[in-house]
Amino acid sequence: MTIRYLMDENVNPTYQTQIQRREPELIIWAVGDEGTPPKGTLDPDILIWCEEHGFVLVTNNRTSMPPHLTAHLSADRHVPGIFILNPKMSVGET
């Protein structure tokens, strides 16, 4: 099974570019890309999309995403995974 990643729209696009440059075989999409939820999609809907499409979510939303994830899991749903980046760290530090 190939792990696929969805970058939240608030994650700096440099992450997607740099990771794909180093690991071109990885599947890394960003919210707003063709085939993904449009920019402005609410966090709970992003989690549902990740669940339905088998994507690990990459976000730097440390404030509202954890409660949304808790609610999602409490509703007997799941997600393949979630990475919450520290927005104070650079791409090289992450």
DSSP string, 5-18: EEE-TTS-HHHHHH
Give the mean pLDDT of the chain. 92
End-to-end Cα separation, the chain, in angstroms: 25
Structural domains of the chain in order of their starting residue, each with its CATH number: 4-84 (3.40.50)
Q: pTM of the predicted model, to two decimals?
A: 0.90
| Cα Dmax for the chain | 37
The answer on pLDDT for 90 being more than 80 is no
| Span 42-78, pLDDT tens digits | 999 999 999 999 999 999 988 889 999 999 999 999 9
> 64 with 43: CB under 8 angstroms?
yes
